[in-house]
Amino acid sequence: MEGHNVDADGNGAVVEPATKLRANSLTLVDSLVLSLANAAPTVGMAGALAALLAASGYGSPLAVIVGGVAMLGIAAGYARLNRWDPRAGTTYNWVSIAINPYVGFLVGWIMLVAYLFTIAGDPFALGPAVTSLFGVTTPSNVAEFLIGAVAILIVCVIAVVGIRPTAYLQRILILIEYAIMLLFVVLAVKAVYFDHIAGSVPASASWFTIGGAGGWSGLFAGVVISVYLYSDWEANIYTNEETTERHTNPGRASILGVALMIVIFTIFLTGFQGVTSLSSLENAPAGALVVIAHRLLPDPWNSLMLIAIAEAVLATLLGNLVASARILYGMSDPHDGILPGIFSRVHPRFRTPVLATVLFAGLSIVLLGAYLVSASLSNVITYVLSAIGVLFSLFYAITGLTCAWHSRAHFGRARDLILAGIFPAVAAVFLIVVAVDSLVSNPRTETVAVLGTIVAGIPVLLIVRASGRTGYFRRGGTTGSDASAH
């Protein structure tokens, strides 16, 4: 990737060289599929449904809607900034150019850590799902590690082979996942509203009220968890250099993807949480979705839920690995990147960032192994995973604020004021408030994990700054008149 600079007339436009990645490989539909597959509602609900219900009770649908509207504001910010500078580094580049390179690096660092731990955490739901298909409900650590490691290696190979095979596989996986989940939603509606099965709870208007969510504290706690559910929706933005009409299609796909996810999560939650009592779902050792499946279908047909979980984990693993590799690729520009340029190298045939992809896959396997074999390391990894929602909230919020700041010269037009200013900025402030409330309300370990993630990036920043090998630190402070020009 060649250097990217502000053009000579100072209007903030970015001089765009041809990408080294395979340009024009993804259509608008492909980009939308990547967004939907990466958000993976089955994976999110398998890992967080019990926590969401514990936080917001039957008011969980409201928490998901509120969190989704905030995500929609951030998606609007991503779309605007991508029109200005459609590069794989996204927020890292946007913040460093529009605001400050030091802040830009720390945001990029948070993105890398959040995605790394997300990839390492995804297989936690895969091991039990796979072994349960064969009648083993409590797999050994060795079995869990082998299943997770093999899954990561498989998606690593696919990600390296090319973005087109990745897109094809994602289409297949998302069709299977959504078809199975839709089947269970239909069965849930039938069981609750037509069969009136014992212990079921029909939906009521209170499910969509603050009181139903347990007050503001319950709502905020649920919104933080909903951020985790929605997280990774922006993965398609990181493949902007490989997308047709790269200034516009990734942003359109992200906005549409988030809008669809709001509807999907609301339908899933409203349908599922009434199937049985909240206590049964909150305390289910095998997971809330498994309990729901057993309530709706007999053996062996309830195993369809396990299949949906397993293949959804593969979909989100693949999407997260592709996304994280593009972020690292974007941060490793040999001219104005801050990380070693070797990670911006692409395979001569497949045109994918091979080393960046392999590095994330390898580190994820190491973290997975550490989690399963060491109690002390397991605790550290658990603390970081518990803070993933906050980490995503932070870089989402900074993206929204960056959009508003960068687009401020165009606020004389009502459309730009609303879509590039008020909507992203209000969403960003809301996410910050929710994140701070979460840190104050939850155990101190979550605060330590968030602060530790940020502090861990400072030595890297100082080392690279002292080396003087990059033009990265000469960036900053532009106002792009083209941010709303498309």
pLDDT digits (tens, 9 = 90+) for 312-349: 999 999 999 999 999 999 998 776 678 888 898 999 99
Collapsing DSSP states into helix, strand and coil, what is residue 26?
Answer: strand
The CA angle 468-474-478, to the nearest 5 degrees, is 165
Phi, psi of 346, deg, nearest 5? -120, 155
pTM for the structure as a whole:
0.88
The closest of 258, 32, 228, 240 to 118, measured between CA atoms, is 228
Peptide bond into 300 cis (omega under 30): yes
Name every residue whose Cβ is closer than 8 Å to that of residue 190 and which is 6 or more positions away in sequence: none
**Cα 470 vs. chain centroid, distance in angstroms?**
29
269, 60 contact by CB (below 8 A): yes
pLDDT at 196: 86
pLDDT at 19: 54
Helix then strand then coil, in percent of the chain rounded to 5, is: 75, 0, 25
Q: Where are the alpha helices (DSSP H) in 57-100?
A: 60-84, 91-98
Name every residue whose Cβ is closer than 8 Å to that of residue 330 and which is 6 or more positions away in sequence: 1, 87, 88, 89, 90, 92, 93, 238, 337, 344
d(CA 358, CA 361): 5
Collapsing DSSP states into helix, strand and coil, what is residue 56?
Answer: helix
pLDDT at 17: 46
d(CA 253, CA 31): 6
Burial of 204 (0-12, 13-18, 19+ CB in 10 A): exposed
- The amino acid that residue 306 corresponds to is L
pLDDT in tens, the chain (486 residues): 434 444 333 344 444 444 589 999 999 999 999 999 888 888 888 878 888 888 899 999 999 999 999 999 999 999 999 999 998 888 999 999 999 899 999 999 999 999 998 888 888 878 888 888 887 767 688 888 899 999 999 999 999 999 999 999 999 999 999 999 999 999 999 999 898 898 888 888 999 999 989 898 889 888 888 888 888 899 999 999 999 999 999 999 999 999 999 999 999 999 898 898 888 887 776 678 888 999 999 988 999 999 999 999 999 999 999 999 999 999 987 766 788 888 989 999 999 999 999 999 999 999 988 888 877 788 888 878 878 888 888 999 999 999 999 999 889 899 999 999 999 999 999 999 888 887 887 777 778 888 888 889 899 888 888 876 667 777 655 544 444 443
The closest of 49, 31, 38, 74 to 313, measured between CA atoms, is 38
The closest of 113, 74, 11 to 328, measured between CA atoms, is 113
pLDDT at 248: 95
pLDDT at 59: 92
256, 32 contact by CB (below 8 A): yes
User: What mean pLDDT is reported for the chain?
Assistant: 86
pLDDT at 285: 61
- The amino acid that residue 276 corresponds to is T
The closest of 398, 213, 235 to 325, measured between CA atoms, is 235
Name every residue whose Cβ is closer than 8 Å to that of residue 253 and which is 6 or more positions away in sequence: 28, 31, 32, 34, 35, 236
Collapsing DSSP states into helix, strand and coil, what is residue 485?
Answer: coil
Name every residue whose Cβ is closer than 8 Å to that of residue 113 and which is 6 or more positions away in sequence: 384, 391, 453, 456, 457
- The amino acid that residue 394 corresponds to is L
pLDDT at 286: 64
d(CA 347, CA 21): 9
Burial code (b: 16+ CB inside 10 Å, e: under 16) for 51-71 equals: bbbbbbbbbbbbbbbbbbbbb
Name every residue whose Cβ is closer than 8 Å to that of residue 479 and which is 6 or more positions away in sequence: 12, 98, 406, 408, 409
Strand partners, 14: 6
Q: Which domains does the chain possess? A: 28-474 (1.20.1740.10)
User: Residue 467's CB: how many other CB atoms inside 10 A?
Assistant: 9
pLDDT at 475: 65
